[in-house]
Amino acid sequence: MIGRGTAGKYWVHVGGHDPFAPYQAQVVAYGNDNTRCKFYQPSVPDYEELGGALRGWYSRFFVLCLALNGTPVNSRFVFSFSGSPRPEDSSWAQPLAPPPRKTPKAAFLETTEDGTAIANHRRNPNSPYTPTAMAHSSVGYVPPGLSIRHEQTGIYRVILPGLGTKNPGLAQVTAVGGSDAHCVAGLPFRSSNDPSILEVVVQGWNERDRVDTGFILNYDEEVTRSTVAHQGARAYAGNQFAASYTPDRSYNTGQVSGFPGTNTAYHLGKGWYQMHHSEIFDTPNSVWVGASGIFPSYCKIEAWGSSASARGTDVYVRCFDAEGNPADTPYFETCQGTEIRSS
């Protein structure tokens, strides 16, 4: 359920999951103009009475969309979410962990402006919402030594122990807070000091100035989702001037287990791109895109749907510079879809 308050402010009500277990969420503006969207405050858990002793828990997310000059403006957006199913039981006393995973491959975390990791899904139904100094992964694993280094104004280094691999995935990042700041994530990489550690550098920007900001970051070695039972694809479109190419860090589950698809990136015009995911259903699914690198560019979803020329899904992307002009820039893109068929 989605509701709108004052201009540019929306709330998204997500039910059917346990709001105190790890989950992951992102938002990105939709359309061909130069607006952008973010979260203007952390999400909060809430519930509805279902009768008897049962409560239906849900999470409420708060979205803010902004014009180029920072003025709140009504805009379409794409909200992505995945989490654990909810048990509708008011007698909860201890956190319910999702099934353990032998090798952690994903992480979710949220930070304040000073780089302190917080968790917005702590179970305590009888007390007001209070962020705690923790961070969780999307698979119920808390990496020992996870930290966020606030290196200088607007620059954060996220340290994820145990997630370093030869083939790292991608990071999704969305700014959190009431300002007009947005975030750009660099490519996740293995630490030079310890290859078992993964590092991600995140930058906060307000036009062409780096600024401190809270943010939500999701990382997954595969496609940033909490289950391997669903279709998904991800790609790093780093060759922003090439007419067509196979993007780096490509991953595509395909529709049928054991038969992966492919990804192809296209440059359609200045700041205008297409990503084709073969063998991925276009609905029901959700897509996300974000600029990558060291510059204050940003990207949004123009549209997505069934490919007109090939089996699969096409995602259309628009990218802009700090002044809101179309700009060629590297970007990350992810797509999460419906269940994978077994045959």
Q: What is the pLDDT of residues 245-268, one digit of tens each?
A: 999 999 898 888 788 899 999 999
DSSP 122-191: ---TTS----BS--B-TTS---TT-EEEEEETTEEEEEEET---SS--EEEEEEESSSS-EEEE---EE-
- pTM of the entire structure? 0.85
Nearest to 83 by CA among 14, 34, 35: 14
Lowest mean pLDDT among 73-77, 199-203, 222-226: 222-226
Q: Read off the pLDDT of residues 204-230 as tens digits, 9 standing for 90 and up.
A: 999 899 999 999 988 877 765 545 567
Nearest to 294 by CA among 225, 208, 226: 208
pLDDT at residue number 159:
87
Q: Read off the pLDDT of residues 304-326 as tens digits, 9 standing for 90 and up.
A: 999 888 889 999 999 999 999 99
Question: Mean of the pLDDT values across residues 263-288?
Answer: 91
Strand-pairing partners, residue 84, are: none
Instruction: Give Cα 330 to chain centroid, integer Å.
Output: 17
Domain boundaries in the chain?
2-82, 106-220, 230-339
Measured CA to CA in angstroms, residue 42 lies from 30, 176, 181, 189 at distances of 21, 7, 15, 27
Q: Would you state the structure tokens that stand for residue 306, as one six-digit string?
A: 């069934």
Question: Mean of the pLDDT values across residues 77-93?
Answer: 64
Residue type, position 9, single letter: K
**Structural contact between residues 278 and 312, judged by C-beta atoms closer than 8 angstroms:** yes
Lowest mean pLDDT among 8-17, 80-89, 137-146, 225-234: 137-146
pLDDT at residue number 137:
37
Measured CA to CA in angstroms, residue 75 lies from 61, 66, 334 at distances of 16, 8, 21
Question: Mean of the pLDDT values across residues 52-77?
Answer: 88
With 50 as the cut, is the pLDDT of residue 141 above it? no
With 90 as the cut, is the pLDDT of residue 161 above it? no
With 50 as the cut, is the pLDDT of residue 100 above it? no
3-state SS, residue 13 = strand
pLDDT at residue number 123:
32
